[in-house]
């Protein structure tokens, strides 16, 4: 079973999904794969890859999610929600007045973290995410709001459900590592 390794985004040398963990693991559940009507089944199988086939074809989570346009959509939705939703008030308050830099940086970072191009490392070097988050006060509330906001964004941006479940777990591992105060 392969997983995204949250530690790869922390303080290890590589932010990319490691070679031993190229893609989120198991096949999507049957529940997420609506069965085609019998008459359509053969034609649909030929014309449209089913979710299982899409995952098998995707070498990395970056491919599976849909490449750079999909990562950009996800990040934009994430920061839009952070700005708009009262449920993420404390998370928003931890950020500066503008989210423009954060949008670009998270986009660059996630491309590499998902196994795509290393835009972030090319610009800034080693991510050292925990160290870079030290100036911000991050406790359980901020961690949980970050993960909830990202999960809502994944849902609204149309991230495939099986991938969303795996990423949520990986994001939680990384966000928990970012905590620098109790409570």
Q: Given the complex with ligand HEM, which of 38 and 182 has the nearer CB atom?
A: 182
Distance CA 142, CA 133 (A): 12
* Choice between 163 and 178, CB closer to ligand HEM: 178
The whole-angstrom separation of Cα 155 and Cα 159 is 6
Cα–Cα distance list, 97 to 52, 92, 101, 175 (Å) = 42, 9, 11, 22
- What is the rounded end-to-end Cα distance, in angstroms, of the chain? 34
* Binding of residue 168 to ligand HEM (CB under 6 A): no
Q: Are 27 and 124 in contact (CB under 8 A)?
A: no
CA distance 54 to 10: 29
CB of 30 to ligand HEM, least distance (A): 30
Q: Does position 4 bind ligand HEM by CB under 6 A? A: no
CB nearer ligand HEM, residue 38 or residue 96? 96
| Identified binder of ligand HEM from the candidate list 16, 55, 60, 174, rule CB under 6 A | 174
Task: Work out how close the CB of 37 gets to ligand HEM at its nearest, in angstroms, rounded to a whole number.
Answer: 41
Find the binding residues for ligand HEM in span 76-135 (CB under 6 A).
91, 94-96, 101-102, 105-106, 109, 124, 129, 132-133
- How far apart, in whole angstroms, are the C-alpha atoms of residue 24 and residue 2? 6
Interacting residues toward ligand HEM by CB under 6 A:
9, 91, 94-96, 101-102, 105-106, 109, 124, 129, 132-133, 136, 138, 142-143, 146, 171, 174-175, 178
């Amino acid at each position: 079973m392969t997983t995204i390794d949250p530690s790869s985004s922390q303080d290890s040398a590589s932010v990319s999904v490691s070679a031993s963990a190229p893609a989120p693991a198991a096949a999507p559940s049957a529940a997420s794969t609506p069965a085609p009507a019998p008459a359509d089944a053969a034609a649909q199988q030929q014309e449209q890859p089913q979710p299982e086939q899409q995952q098998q074809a995707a070498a990395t989570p970056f491919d599976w999610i849909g490449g750079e346009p999909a990562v950009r959509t996800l990040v934009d939705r994430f920061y839009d929600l952070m700005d708009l939703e009262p449920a993420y008030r404390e998370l928003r308050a931890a950020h500066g007045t503008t989210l423009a830099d954060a949008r670009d940086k998270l986009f660059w970072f996630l491309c590499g973290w998902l196994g795509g191009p290393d835009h972030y490392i090319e610009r800034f070097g080693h991510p050292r995410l925990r160290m870079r988050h030290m100036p911000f006060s991050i406790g359980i509330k901020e961690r949980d709001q970050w993960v909830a906001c990202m999960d809502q964004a994944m849902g609204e941006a149309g991230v495939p459900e099986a991938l969303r479940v795996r990423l949520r777990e990986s994001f939680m591992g990384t966000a928990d590592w970012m905590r620098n105060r109790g409570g």
